[in-house]
Amino acid sequence: MRFLAKNFLRFGPRQKTISLIIWLAISPLIIVCFVPVDLFAQLKGPNIIFILTDDHRWDAMSSMGHPFIRTPNLDRLADEGILFENAFVTTSLCSPSRASFLTGQYPHRHGVMTNHTPWDNHNTTFLELLKESGYETAFIGKWHMPGKGLPKLRGLDHFISFTKEGGQGIYYSCPLIIDGVETERKGQYITEDLTDFALKFIEKKRDTPFCLYLSHKAVHFGFRPPPHLKGIYKDVDLKLPPESDTWITYTNNNPFVGALFPMNILYRGYCETVASVDEQLGRLIQKLEDLNILDNTVIIYAGDNGHFWGEHGLYDKRLAYEESIRIPFIVRYPGLIKDPGRRAPQMILNIDLAPTLLDIVGLDIPSNIQGMSLKPILQSAHAPGRNSWLYEHFPVFPIPIPGITAIRTRRYKYVEYQNDARPKELFDLKTDPREMNNIIDTSVGKRIAEELKKEMENLKKETGYEFHRRG
């Protein structure tokens, strides 16, 4: 450098001008050669991958202490990111919850209140907003919202989904609608098939960041793992709760009452199907690593609702008990998370996904979004979470479970049922985490219930809650 500077001073005016032009011409090349490629990627904004599974409850993974399910890839995400230990859905049902993830709104606001009330295409999804800001977007997997076929969703570059069996799909040979073209997928196992499409999308050469919404059919009913994982948990002690039905013959107004349906066989299938999802997640992470874009990608993994496996003598979801409303929620993004491996105790909701992603990318959060950005919690363990939130469930034909409204605070849960079809419930989650003792009739319970009732009314007003019976 000293040599160049010394000689530069000896140059005449013409030579100086020429050498200056040469410097200006070659300096970008020098920068390109010596500055890490990732830095450019950072300037463009991170890639986003959101993985949504079906009915995956919060504790069905080894990092949440499950007694036998092994999920090394989910564990890796948690170790390298943040695992939210108190993540919930505002409605524990597939379609409403899915629409909430996409819009950041409660079901009574976005309109998909049950699995039968159609998606309103006037809704704005975070994918649409990301697309407007320059992202390449793809929705791959389960859409499962009512309406005629798939909607013409705005803001999508690729839309790969299925409508088989009311949008639930099937585990094997599920026909896919690939950008509008129905395609047979003979012999394909759906979790693997969808992951293959996701990998193709990720590895595509592009100048813009991408946002991938990968939505699995697994681990919904059917519970079919791929052949190589079938039977991996056949000899384990399932450790179902003591009050569990051995047969899903429910005594709690369930339409399957009286039908033989061994709980243990279903549960083993469920656990093996979770293992399959984890395996495919591993392929996805590996691809990001191979492409050297892992650390510039926000990865979020979540479930659309929980699932009962015998708790309270129940199976399925919908009710406001913890097993039904709690979901796995993991975020990995080294660009923001400086203390990887943290367990976040703050209460977060499915409606927080959309504002979080918009916030991370630096976009304004529209005022009609009802969730809150998790960016402050990702950045700091001390960021405050919410104190309480509203749970809602609308009656779904033909399931004989009444409409439900509930409020969950950090310590208590208060539950009301449509037409008082069931007694009101109050649980102290600190002393009774399994919600086995309804304390509503105790003197303390009465006082707390009154306070929570008021708080619930406030939340109803705040969120514009209205009860809907149809659907």
Binding site for another protein (CB under 8 A): 116-118, 146, 165-166, 242-243, 245-247, 249, 251, 253, 255-260, 313, 395, 397-398, 400, 402, 418-419, 421, 469-471
Q: How far is the CB of 396 from another protein (least distance, A)?
A: 9
Q: How far is the CB of 116 from another protein (least distance, A)?
A: 6
In the complex with another protein, which residue's Cβ is closer, 421 or 444? Answer: 421
Q: How far is the CB of 392 from another protein (least distance, A)?
A: 16
Q: How far is the CB of 245 from another protein (least distance, A)?
A: 7
Question: In angstroms, what CA-CA distances link 177 with 167, 194, 221?
Answer: 11, 12, 22
Q: How far is the CB of 70 from another protein (least distance, A)?
A: 26
Q: How far is the CB of 168 from another protein (least distance, A)?
A: 9
Q: How far is the CB of 399 from another protein (least distance, A)?
A: 9
Angstrom distance (rounded) from CA 5 to CA 224: 71
In the complex with another protein, which residue's Cβ is closer, 321 or 412? Answer: 321
In the complex with another protein, which residue's Cβ is closer, 43 or 260? Answer: 260
Q: How far is the CB of 311 from another protein (least distance, A)?
A: 12
In the complex with another protein, which residue's Cβ is closer, 29 or 260? Answer: 260
In the complex with another protein, which residue's Cβ is closer, 148 or 382? Answer: 148
Q: How far is the CB of 173 from another protein (least distance, A)?
A: 13
In the complex with another protein, which residue's Cβ is closer, 122 or 469? Answer: 469
In the complex with another protein, which residue's Cβ is closer, 134 or 262? Answer: 262
In the complex with another protein, which residue's Cβ is closer, 399 or 429? Answer: 399
In the complex with another protein, which residue's Cβ is closer, 146 or 340? Answer: 146
Q: How far is the CB of 295 from another protein (least distance, A)?
A: 43
In the complex with another protein, which residue's Cβ is closer, 8 or 397? Answer: 397
Contact 162, 140 (CB under 8 A): no
Angstrom distance (rounded) from CA 15 to CA 11: 6
